[in-house]
Structure 1
Amino acid sequence: MKNRRMFWQIVEKIEVLIDSGKYPPGSRLPPERELAETFNVSRPTIREAIIALEVRQRVEVKTSSGVYVLENPNTASSNVKVSAFELTQARALVEGEAAALAAVSITEEELARLDETLTAMEKGIEPEKADREFHLIISRATRNSAVLLAVEQFWQLRDSEPEIINAYKSVCDGSDSDRMEEHRNIYLALQKRDSAEARAAMHLHFNRLINTLFAISEAKALEEVRKQSNQTRDLYSLNHLVG
């Protein structure tokens, strides 16, 4: 955990330098050895930080050339929009494998923390926060920094895009018992150190989510058609002539 915290500190320091203009978009970062000396850390820690920066889309690693700074994805103009359906499918693919990986490396301490999040969800104590922590604990238990970063970015999307926030709120508002049972099944599979069962339990969780999203979307579409039909009927109605 100490090494993990250290490379995150380096990520933050390099991002500050990038944002300040020290390393503008298109420029090349100093070599790994120089960065290690600058921040007084090991070269493996610098490599971890570069991987994290690449996943965050702050830099691009070019083989035999170097590490180049990219435009900040949070400020650069982009027309790319991620739907709730796309996000849920991506989460299923990544978090299913994360659960499988975590099953063979998760510690008793992490299992205890997972159990605490389940208790919080069951008692209604900040259930959304507990839900998020449940998934992040599993991602950390993979011991794979790229997997953790991917899941963290999924949650950032989930909590920042208005359309996704509203879609997930509609799903979560009426499915507390389903969500509780699905999370409990994931936990039990991890407790048994069963990778296949953990993957399947995570996939079942997201399958229910995406099917609920489809049902809600269809209901909204039907309501919109009904509303438009009523407006058209009112516009051309002859009831006032024959009443």
Structure 2
Amino acid sequence: MARGDSNRLYERVSTDLAARITDGSYEIGQRLPPERLLAQTYSVSRPTIREAIIALEVDGLVEVRMGSGVYVTARVPRGGAPVETDMGPFELLEARRAIEGEACALAAAQISDELLAGLEALVDEMSRSAGDIMASEDADRRFHLAIAQATGNSAMYMAVEMLWDARARSPQYRLLSDKAHLAGVTPVIEEHRRIIEALRSRDPGRARKAMISHLSRVLESLLQATEVHELEQAKVRLDAQRQRYMTAG
């Protein structure tokens, strides 16, 4: 499916920005408008703009310079065509939060002591693998899939598995993960232990809340990891001061 045919908001934005880059509306070396202004221009959320920028990064069209902004680096995507896309990383996490929250609630009503022991073993594995990101995240994936399996509902398990598989094949999510790892974002052991305790209580409401809280924290940490921190007002003041001093000279 071509990007322009997609209903994904972030793809609509990235397609339009890519077209503007290609036709020279944004020159190579030029900084794109700040995230806040782009969100207003396209009438979308800032996380959606963040997803669109990540898609442009994957295509090699822009470079994100922390503390400065997003700059155009090429007019044509790597390989001459946009990289095939999948779900945006933030919309993927929103879906996980909704679906896995309900999966956790359903699992709480019937989870066995044996499955709880298996979850504890996976958290211990995450803890031991703290210095190995790939191993830690693999244990994290198995933890979440084990909870989905504990629901006893094959459709629920397939839905959760599909979201994790979409995460694994998404070039945008891989780039986002790289940014998150550089920012020190890793699975939080204590949050997983709280999920286990909520499941052990056999209280669906408590279990749902624990999972939603965990995935909300993940979403927030990824947003922070991709924050550009454009100091737009400071730049305006600096430019004004420079112009005043040059005029005085």
Structure 1 equivalent of residue 105 of structure 2 = 100
Q: Given residue 183 of structure 1, which amino acid in structure 2 is its aligned partner?
A: H
Q: Distance in 2 between matches of 1:108 and 1:169?
A: 36
Q: Distance in 2 between matches of 1:170 and 1:80?
A: 18
Structure 1 residues 169 and 80, CA gap change in structure 2 (3 angstroms): closer
> Counterparts of 1:1-243 in structure 2 under 5 Å?
81-124=86-129, 126-171=135-180, 174-176=184-186, 179-217=188-226, 219-220=227-228, 222=230
Q: Which has the higher helix share?
A: 1
User: Is the Cα contact below 8 Å between 1:171 and 1:209 reproduced in 2?
Assistant: no
TM-score (norm 2): 0.54
Task: Number of aligned residue pairs: give it.
Answer: 156
Structure 1 residue 91 displacement after superposition: 0.1
Structure 1 residue 80 displacement after superposition: 7.1
- Flag structure 1 segments of 5+ consecutive residues without an equivalent: 1-78, 238-243
Q: Distance in 2 between matches of 1:158 and 1:193?
A: 29
Per-residue displacement from partner, 1:126-146 (whole Å, max 9, x unpaired)?
A: 211100000000000011111
Q: Distance in 1 between matches of 2:98 and 2:162?
A: 14
Q: Distance in 1 between matches of 2:225 and 2:144?
A: 24
RMSD value over aligned CA atoms? Answer: 3.0
Q: Distance in 1 between matches of 2:224 and 2:214?
A: 16
Per-residue displacement from partner, 1:15-40 (whole Å, max 9, x unpaired)?
A: xxxxxxxxxxxxxxxxxxxxxxxxxx
Structure 1 residue 81 displacement after superposition: 4.1
Q: Distance in 2 between matches of 1:166 and 1:203?
A: 24
- Larger RCO (alpha carbons 8 Å, 6+ apart): 2
Which of 1 and 2 has greater Rg? Answer: 1
Structure 1 residues 110 and 213, CA gap change in structure 2 (3 angstroms): same
Query: For 2:110, what is the secondary structure of its paired residue?
Result: coil
**More deviation, 184-193/132-141:** 184-193
Q: Distance in 1 between matches of 2:101 and 2:178?
A: 22
Structure 1 residues 145 and 174, CA gap change in structure 2 (3 angstroms): same
Query: For 2:202, what is the secondary structure of its paired residue?
Result: coil
Structure 1 residues 160 and 81, CA gap change in structure 2 (3 angstroms): closer
Q: Distance in 1 between matches of 2:97 and 2:87?
A: 15
